[in-house]
A and B are shown apart, each in its own frame.
Chain A
Amino acid sequence: MSNRKNHRLSRRTVLRGLGGATIALPLLDAMRSDTAYAGADSPKRLIIMYTPNGTVPVNFWPAGSGPDFELSPILTPLAAHKQDLLVIGGLDMLSSLKGPGDAHQKGTGGCLTGTPLLEGNFAGDGGQSAGWAGGISLDQAVANHLGKDTPFASLELGVAVQDPANVGARISYRGAGQPLPPENSPYAAYQRLFGDSIADPLAVERRAARRRAVLDAVNDEHRALRSRLGGEDREKLENHLSAVEEIRNRLDESVITFGGECQPLDQGELLDPNVVANMPFMGKLQIDLMAMAMACDITRVGTIMWTRSVANHVFSFVDPKITEGHHSIAHKGDEDAPKIAQNTAINAWYAEQLAYLITKLKAIPEGDGTVFDNTVILWTNEQAKGNNHSRFDMPYVLAGSAGGYFKTGRYLTRPDMPQVPHNKLLVSLLQAMGVETDSFGDPEFDTGPLSGLT
Chain B
Amino acid sequence: MRELLPALIGLLAVAATSSLAGCQGNPSGQDADSAGDDEGLPGCEAIEPGPSPIRRLTRVEYNNTIYQLLGDSSQPANAFPPDEVAGSFDNQAAALVVSPLLAENYESAAEQLAITHAPGLMDQLPACAGGAPDPASCSADAEAFIRSFGKRAYRRPLTEDEVSAHIDLFITGTGLGESSYDPAVGVETVMQAMLQSPHFLYRVEFGAQDVAPSGEDIVPLTSYELASRLSYLLWNTMPDAALFEAADADELQTKAQIEAQARRMMDTPRAREAVKNFHRQWLGLGRIETHIAANGKSPEIYPDYGPYLLSLWRRETEAFIDDAVFEQDANVEVLFTANYTMMNKQLAFFYGVTGPTTDEFERVELDPSKYAGFLTHAGLLALYAMPDRSSPIHRGKFVREVLLCQSPPPPPDVIPKPPSVDDTQTTRDQFIEHAENPLCAGCHRLMDPLGFGFEHFDGIGRYRETEWGLAIDASGELLETDNDGPYNGVVELANKLATSEQVKSCVASQWFQFGYGRAPTSEDACSMQEIEADFADSDYDIKELVIALTLTDAFRYRHVNAAQEAP
Contacts and interface: CB of A to CB of B under 8 A. Distances in A.
A214 B111 CA distance: 10
A243 B102 contact: yes
Contact of B206 (A188, A226, A228, A275): A228
Contact of B7 (A127, A206, A213, A323): A127
Contacts of B172: 213
Nearest to A272: B293
Interface in A46-100: none
B563 A213 contact: no
B176 A210 contact: yes
Contact of A314 (B92, B102, B201, B296): B296
Interface residues of B, number: 85
B364 interface: no
Contact of B107 (A165, A179, A211, A332): A211
Interface stretch (A36-44, A156-164, A429-437): A156-164
Contact of A20 (B175, B196, B411): B175
Interface in A356-391: 387-390
B204 interface: yes
Interface string B386-418: 111000000000000100001111110111111
Contacts of A127: 6-7, 10-11, 406-410
Interface stretch (A215-223, A345-353, A402-410, A415-423): A215-223
Interface string A179-199: 111010000100010000000
A211 to B, nearest CB: 7
A332 B418 contact: yes
A148 interface: no
B416 A228 contact: no
A222 to B, nearest CB: 6
Given A236-B54, A333-B417, A388-B413, A243 B564 contact: no
A207 B111 contact: yes
A126 interface: yes
Contacts of B56: 236
Interface stretch (A4-12, A117-125, A443-451): A117-125
A314 to B, nearest CB: 5
A210 B185 contact: yes
A128 interface: yes
A233 interface: yes
Nearest to B4: A127
A174 B50 CA distance: 29
Contact of B564 (A19, A131, A209, A227): A227
Contacts of A226: 566
Contacts of B79: 188
B83 A165 contact: yes
Contacts of B27: none
Given A181-B81, A387-B415, A213 B176 contact: yes
B53 interface: yes
A278 to B, nearest CB: 10
B298 A323 contact: yes
B95 interface: yes
Interface string B66-104: 000000000000010111111100101011011111111
Contacts of B10: 127
B410 A126 contact: yes
A225 interface: yes
Given A120-B95, A163-B82, A243-B99, A210 B519 contact: no
B94 A131 contact: yes
A421 B486 CA distance: 49
B423 interface: no
B86 A121 contact: yes
B169 A314 contact: no
B54 A247 contact: no
A274 B292 CA distance: 11
Nearest to A160: B294
Contact of A230 (B82, B406, B561): B561
A389 B196 contact: no
Contact of B193 (A188, A214, A231, A336): A214
A210 B562 contact: no
B491 to A, nearest CB: 29
B565 A227 contact: yes
B355 interface: no
B415 A217 contact: no
A200 interface: no
A280 interface: no
Contacts of B188: 210
A229 interface: yes
Contacts of A334: 417
A239 interface: yes
> Considering residues B173, B193, B199, B287, which has the most beta carbons from chain A within 10 angstroms of its beta carbon?
B193
Contacts of B386: 324-325
Interface of B: 6-7, 10-11, 53-54, 56, 79, 81-87, 90, 92, 94-95, 97-104, 107, 110-111, 162, 165-166, 169, 172-173, 175-178, 185, 188-189, 192-193, 196-199, 201, 204, 206, 287, 290-291, 293-296, 298, 386-388, 401, 406-411, 413-418, 420, 443, 519, 561-566
* Interface pairs A-B: 8 shortest CB-CB: A333-B417, A126-B410, A127-B407, A230-B562, A164-B85, A227-B566, A243-B103, A121-B86
Interface of A: 19-21, 102, 120-128, 131-132, 156, 160, 162-166, 174, 177-181, 183, 188, 192, 206-207, 209-211, 213-215, 217-218, 220-223, 225-234, 236-237, 239-240, 243-244, 246-247, 274-277, 312-314, 323-325, 331-336, 387-390
17 contacts: A20-B176, A122-B86, A127-B410, A131-B95, A181-B102, A183-B101, A188-B79, A220-B165, A225-B204, A227-B565, A229-B54, A237-B54, A331-B415, A333-B418, A335-B417, A388-B414, A390-B413
Given A222-B198, A388-B415, 18 more contacts: A19-B175, A121-B92, A126-B407, A128-B407, A164-B85, A174-B99, A178-B97, A179-B97, A210-B173, A210-B189, A210-B192, A218-B196, A221-B162, A236-B54, A236-B97, A274-B293, A276-B295, A314-B387
